[in-house]
Structure 1
């Protein structure tokens, strides 16, 4: 039990060290830290208004300059952080302070909001569920909101949850193309928050399967699965907790870059973030409970084994005593007190019958005492069996 707690604490400490970026001691402020395996940046420009929308891939950041002062909304999406020169030029084009560029480029950063004179910088954490297996991709997304433009910087181009937003712009669905850049920011933030729900739904099913596995047949692999789920839920908690606070600061503190009408929509986004955090906390409690159930199941299984061995030993102790007494073979010719039963005609059958009778009496005695009942089996409660699935339905109903 103590070893299990120490292993869990060590896993959480290691996860905490890997969650956020920290600078090397003595490094210059604004130093960009580019990972060696980071993919090269791909810059996609989407410019739209109520009547038209264009999308193109640009090769240099300088090609975005004519769109920054236009009356239409320009969404510059940078996917990949593998070229420091392009990122530096991107900071010059958008007039980003070196410290802001550092926050946007260096990963992973803690989700936060920084309001500057003509720009609003937001660091968010996006999760995307993996296909065909349990788990998720975690990626940092940086937002730079200007007057008529929005710059987004993603870690890599393979996974994101913005495709539905791109389709709404392309097909002119809803009111997105009638709004300004701050509404686009809200839409992308809402997509990021909603991206947590499919991930949590998968983990709800995993926890439900683990409940049945822990009760029916727990193994060492079951313990490893519980550890993996607890660590993943801890990662989700570290992502959504500061993100909820960042959205709340947008609503509470206000910004000149966000209109009052969009701030109302951000309240709905904040409610979704609170729902995600509640689900994460609930699943973490269920995972912690699974650990207790696992330890109890293993302990009960060991108790059943010890009880079986105790019953067998208790039955054979008197039989061993009788066999030991009559195995001493004292000579009856020397004295009539030296085990006269050894010369009886029916001595051997009578001894076996006596041993069998003693064994039967002990079995009846143990049975009446309830020693043969299995107390380690947990009854299947159909009302609580699908508890994890019921939790997954709560967020669907709350969003209707």
Structure 2
């Protein structure tokens, strides 16, 4: 009887094996998970990432996260036209699970439409820089103050002003560690550079958006926030607020830029890296681009003064990168794990170093010493 039992068991084993194989084949046919090792319970997160300069960094972090979270796969979508692509996806009901987005009016309109998770009462808010949180809330496009809520976590901050080529300044006998604190001092500096045959300001008007940085720098000091209430109620016109700002911008761009100011953003960063100008009037976000051209570029960053009272000067700052979760994600817990991973102190500091940014926590950290000169603001 024993031989027969062994034979029967072997036959039964083969039958079970064939049955399991068939079951797995059927499961694969209908798209079910569970057969084999490594796919059971796997969740794929759609990560929409807007910032081209940081595409490699975010992709690397997604791969790092996957190693410690084997049940989660991150599908990284680095968009070259983020605003259009994100709107298109939302219209087609293809809402990403995790999103990075620039803190601008486009974010504000989408936030008002209710497509992002509401972090207002999240415990992480207590750890964040209050100024960056305030900016994020203020961007929400609604006049109802009760709806000015936090629909994205600030991830990295930037500032408008100007980038200094330290070597050019020092060769001209100027002190890059003590930049001008008033408008007259700033103009006098530009005149000294020009007299020595040095291009004072590298313009990039072929990309009109680059004019926003100096406009913002001057505007923050010249136009108090309260003035916009007067603009809304009709007691002031746009020209009343912005004429002094535009006049100063015209003065520096007409008199102190290179012979052909109509170069691109890319060309302007290359020229500053090569020492062809003393100043690039763009925000902190342009520093990594300059260093892509010359990794040893000796740079500083300064606030652009707008009046002759040093105490009046304001630094224009913003939420360059904001991190959020789709309001209707089916994988909130997994998405939140990825967000918490990115928000770790280690990762926000690493991003700060890579992108010359301000960290979002109360104890502000900058990974690039070029930014130290504006920390007092």
Q: Same fold (TM over 0.5)?
A: no
Q: Which has the higher contact order (CA 8 A, sep 6+)?
A: 2
Q: Calculate the TM-score normalised by the size of structure 2.
A: 0.24
Higher helix fraction (1 or 2) = 1
Higher-Rg structure is 1
